[in-house]
Each structure stands twice: as structure tokens, then as C-alpha cells.
Amino acid sequence: MTYTAKELVKKWEPRAKLCKTALQMMLGVLLPLTLALKAVLWLRPDLMSAQEPIARALAQSPTLKVVGGVLLVSTAIDLAYMLFTPGPDEAVEPVMTGFAATVLILLSQDQDKLNYLNITEIAALTAGIGFLFWVRHRFRLW
């Protein structure tokens, strides 16, 4: 049995959306739990031993970098879902999220290491987010 592209999209899009939603909800639950664990490790560093490299890495990583990383994973899930939809219009919002996540990761760097190149990158990404908001607004007007 052969399917047309529209039939395949109609068949698989609802399943893909369910999978996307479930994965992003898991991220939505795991992020606050991870941040809570990070806070506990910050408040009680004695809970970490040298044999726990994951806990030590979590405690030492900047919070904005953790949040940005989770947002990037969420963006990847959104972009993968886009492959199961008929048009490219679903790509605008995940790209905006990816830009925002990248800005958070860049801002999480040690302030002494920020230079003009990083500041230029942050400004360009922020302008890109504004441009994508405009694009999204224009698409919705049509």
C-alpha cells in the first residue's frame, strides 16, 4: 500500500505531537528538579563526595547554562516534530527558543571572559529573536 505525503502527515502528525508534548513535559518537570538539586548542592556542599562527578559538575555549572541546555534540547524536540508536519511554519518558534537558549548560555560565561565578540553575538542573537517575532507576526496576519 502506498501513501501520499498528505496521508502520511495525517497519519503520523498526531502521534509525533503526542510524543513531542510528552518529551517536553518531562523536560518541564526535570528542569525544576535539577535546579532544586543544584540549590541543595550549593547550600550543602558536604553532600558531594569526590566519587560523584555528576553532582560536582552540576553544582559547578552556571544555572543559566543548565537552563539554556534544557531549552536547546526542547528546541531539538520541536524541530524534530516539524519533520512530521506539512509546512515549515512550525520552525520559527523553535528557532526563537534556540536563539534565546544560546543567549542564556553565552551570558552564563564567566564575566571576565566576555569580550566584544561575545557581546556582538548576544546582540545579533537578540536582534534575530526580534526579527523572528516580526516574521511570526507577519505569518499570522496572512
Domain that holds residue 20: 5-141
Average pLDDT (99-107) is 91
Spatial distance between the Cα atoms of 98 and 95, rounded to a whole number of angstroms: 5
- Taking only the tens place, the pLDDT of each residue in 17-74 is 999 999 999 999 999 999 999 999 888 888 776 667 888 888 889 999 999 999 999 9
Spatial distance between the Cα atoms of 130 and 73, rounded to a whole number of angstroms: 22
3-state secondary structure of 2: coil
10 CB neighbour count, 10 Å cutoff: 12
Spatial distance between the Cα atoms of 19 and 8, rounded to a whole number of angstroms: 16
Residue 133 reports pLDDT greater than 80: yes
pLDDT for 20 equals: 95
pLDDT for 51 equals: 65
Torsions phi, psi of 87, nearest 5?
A: -130, 170
Count how many domains the chain has: 1
Residue 142 reports pLDDT greater than 70: no
